[in-house]
Amino acid sequence: MALLQSVVEHLPYELTTSSTHYLTLFFCLVTVLVLMLKLTRTNNLNLPPSPPKLPIIGNLHQLGRLPHRSLHALSLKYGPLMMLQLGQVPTLVISSADVVREIAKTHDVVFSNRPQPTAARIFLYGFNDVGFMQYGEEWRQKKKTCVVEILSAKKVRSFSSVREEVVAELVEAIREVCGGEKARVNLSEMLIATSNNIVSRCVLGRKCDGGFGVVGRKIMRLFPAFSFGDFFPWLGWVDSMTGLVPEMKATSRAVDAVFEEVIEEHESGKMRNDESDAMDFVATLLHLQQSGGLGFHLNRDNLKGILMDMIVGGSDTTSTTLEWIFAELLKNPNAMKKAQEEVRRVVGINSRVDENCVNQMNYLKCVVKETMRLHTPVPLLVARETASSVQLRGYDIPPKTMVFINAWAIQRDPKFWDNPEEFIPERFEISQVDLRGQDFQFIPFGSGRRVCPGISFGLASTEYVLANLLYWFNWKMPKNDVSRQNIDMSETNGLTVSKKVPLNLKAKLYKMIM
């Protein structure tokens, strides 16, 4: 079975020869049954257009290494509403802002469930979080608590001192490295550490130490790993044989031990945090539990699931966005110059970047928006699942259909964007398009009921880190490296889509003229 072998070779875990033989046997035994069931269920439905499928695996082979690009290419041929069969999972791919608008305005409840993948089940305490919990009253109460109590604009402002301390450490670390002529700053690595530390301080009340940082990065690697059980439920046992599930469980136990330690410190009073506005997320949730301010029962799994949401959703997205910002600014030196001139003009003689200054940096905010348009961290927005059958643009969409919204394709649609492949921050100086999910041609954080609740938190961290790095340092590629026009912009797929080649740059300390 050459086809099976091809699929196996693209998996993140190797199978033994005997495992492959068993797997081949099972594929053969169920082929006829799967095809018959599929034909019976879909013969009477008017489904959206679909690329040709292969037996058993359907369209899985067409996802490629970068699914957002592969699916965009397919949508150009088969349309902005496209039906795929990923193993046994019917999957709808949406590449149109108009269709997203129709869903948000008319069918949002039907599209508000989540599929329940293996990684989320293990890492998110059996879907006891907010991100992957099924839509319903408990989910609404949990999200309300997150939006009002731990991710509100007021709460985000209360963590300004945390951002200032962590970014001051980043600036000092770069100062120490950038002195020599041949010195290189691994900016990608530093951005990851900084983002992790900001999130860890705000969520857990402590810095992300080396061991926890390694475990966190392992979660980022394992979360999007291919799981047989997700696409072929009857093959879930293969994930144990390949080592995927055992590694996920071991990693989850390591994180759980940290969560237990942090929660016990808060409950015992060892970690004092008396300023109500600036309480870390653990302290805030425990305080609400004690005061009866929650609309749901907060048990250990609920608490840990929410904490994991915040850590997974808040760290990698920020560092990835910052990495792409610097790559684009290096490719576009006029934009780099304009952004730095604005930052240094606004800061003036204060020699200190504070968040009130950042709020006056309009061009910097345009740079962030334009980068998120071109390089949205999660280009295929976290999958949804239909709760019931629904008609969409005249097509029948069955219940339990997985739904991908290709934000990457939508945000490069020439129908809405002039020169969509070019980095032009100035487009947002005159455009009223916002990124909070109401303008459907620009949805880096999603839209509707499942819009990301951490928008303010993520933007505050991104903008503050960026303003400091542009203020304190002048950046350029090392002399012997490729020209700015040829900066490697290739992508690697994971929980987020990040730069494949890390940024190793020369940084020169900016000397203020007093």
Give residue 507's region: left, alpha or beta (phi > 0; psi -120 to 50).
beta
Token pair for 94: 């949406």
- Distance, in Å, from the CA atom of 298 to the CA atom of 239, rounded to the nearest integer, reads 31
In 3D space, the residue among 363, 373, 372 whose CA is nearest the CA of residue 418 turns out to be 373
Q: Are the beta carbons of 508 and 347 closer than 8 angstroms?
A: no
In 10 A of CB 342, how many CB atoms? 19
Which residue(s) pair with 499 in the sheet?
Answer: 491
Among 278, 40, 284, 319, residue whose Cα is nearest residue 196:
319
d(CA 206, CA 199): 9
Which helix (H) or strand (E) covers residue 144, if one does?
helix 137-145
Nearest-CA neighbor of 281 among 437, 145, 422?
A: 145
Sign of CA dihedral 125, 131, 134, 137: positive
d(CA 475, CA 178): 10
* R_g of the chain, CA atoms, integer Å: 24
468-500 core/surface letters (b: 16 or more CB in 10 A; e: else) = bbbbbbebebeeeeeeeeebeeebebbbbbbbe
Q: Which residues pair with 476 in a beta bridge?
A: 506
Q: Where in 68-145 does DSSP place strands (E)?
A: 81-86, 89-94
Task: Judge whether 452 is annotated as a binding position.
Answer: yes
Per-residue 3-state assignment (H helix, E strand, C coil) for 188-245: HHHHHHHHHHHHHHHHHCCCCCHHHHHHHHHHHHHCCCCCHHHHCHHHHHHHHHCCHH
Q: Tell me, rounded to whole angstroms, the distance of Cα 347 from its chain centroid.
A: 31
State the distance between the two ends of the chain, measured CA to CA, in whole angstroms.
73
Q: In whole angstroms, what is the distance from residue 347 CA to residue 339 CA?
A: 12
Going by C-alpha positions, the residue among 377, 384, 374, 376 that lies closest to residue 404 is 384
Sort strands 185-186 and 504-509 into parallel, antiparallel or unpaired: antiparallel
- Alpha carbon of 137 to those of 112, 148, 384, 489: distances in Å? 12, 16, 18, 43
Side chain identity, residue 469: L
User: Which residues line the annotated binding site for heme?
Assistant: 452
Residues annotated within the binding site are: 452
